[in-house]
Amino acid sequence: MHLAQVNIAEMIAPINDPVMADFVNNLDRINALAESSEGFVWRLKGDENNATAIRVFDYDFLIINMSVWQDIDTLFDFTYKTAHVEILKRKKEWFHNMKQMHMAFWYVEEGHHPTPEEAKEKLQYIREHGETPLAFTFKSRFTPEDYKTYTHE
């Protein structure tokens, strides 16, 4: 099984506002880094090679990032041990602090590319039920075996 992830963020300004310029200017570099990282499988992207123009929510200031990785360790390494962490440290410059859960991980069959609708369901699940093998974060780090046991597969 592979690990899918979603995270959403509420922008403090429209994507084409000068306030967002540094974030936008780094998208191609960070996305290329993800795609060349060990364990990367897939990411959601639109016509502009990123997902910022994909509208999943009724609120235009919410953007989505989705990807699939071979496992949680390779996702963790990309997130916190590459240049991606530089952008992560600056998120307050571009995004509001979200009060509700804004990320979720879940296991998918190899070859499956999750839809934004699936991602919305996982976010809703984790908000309502907390972390289980069906939807979790780095805090819990459930394994594919945990998922199979939990779902009786």
Give me the residue spans of the domains in the chain.
Answer: 2-151
Mean pLDDT, the chain, rounded, equals 92
DSSP string, 102-137: -EEEEEE-TT----HHHHHHHHHHHHHH-SBTTBB-
Is residue 138 over pLDDT 90? yes
Per CATH, which fold does 2-151 belong to? Alpha-Beta Plaits (3.30.70)
Find all residues with CB under 8 Å of 88, minimum gap 6, and list them: 79, 80
pLDDT digits (tens, 9 = 90+) for 25-82: 999 999 999 999 999 999 998 666 555 656 777 778 999 899 999 999 999 999 999 9
Q: What is d(CA 104, CA 121) in angstroms, rounded to the nearest whole number?
A: 10
Find all residues with CB under 8 Å of 30, minimum gap 6, and list them: 83, 84, 87
- Lowest-confidence region among 3-12, 41-50, 118-127, 144-153: 41-50
Which pLDDT belongs to residue 59?
A: 79
In terms of Cβ atoms closer than 10 Å to its own Cβ (0-12, 13-18, 19+), residue 97 is exposed
Q: Are 124 and 143 in contact (CB under 8 A)?
A: no
Maximal C-alpha separation, the chain: 50
User: E strands of 1-153, at which residues?
Assistant: 2-10, 40-43, 62-69, 103-108
